Amino acid sequence: HGVGNLDALKPQEPTVTHQAFKSYEPGYVHMDVKYLPQMRDEGRRRYLFVAIDRATRWVFVQLKANKTAASAQAFLKALHKACPIRINKLLTDNGKEF
């Protein structure tokens, strides 16, 4: 007895649906702090505070001597002054400095 449709014997390929990244309105800002390695000519390591807008990729950075709440607060104030976009959402990793 023959098989009428050979394609029916092939394993089914899973259908992959590619979803585009959700588009964000300007003002959705990610904020983070990174340790910078201590350079030979530096007495101590420093911290890089970074804020990036998801939609426009506008970036704001500052170097700080520590990552205390006071440093985070100073960074936020400077960010608000410098940012050309109205910040609607600020995402952090919930580090204790925030």
pLDDT tens-digit map of 69-97: 999 999 999 999 999 999 999 999 888 88
| Domains of the chain listed by start with CATH number | 24-91 (3.30.160)
Residue 12 binned pLDDT confidence (cut-offs 50, 70, 90): low
DSSP strand pairing (89-91 vs 59-64): unpaired
pTM for the predicted model, two decimal places: 0.71
> Sign of the C-alpha dihedral, residues 64, 68, 74, 79?
positive
Whole-number Cα distances in Å, 24 to 21, 57, 61, 78: 9, 11, 21, 23
Residue 10, pLDDT above cutoff 80: no
42 band by pLDDT with thresholds 50, 70 and 90 = confident
Which of the pair, 15 or 1, is modelled with greater confidence? 15
| DSSP symbol at 8 | G
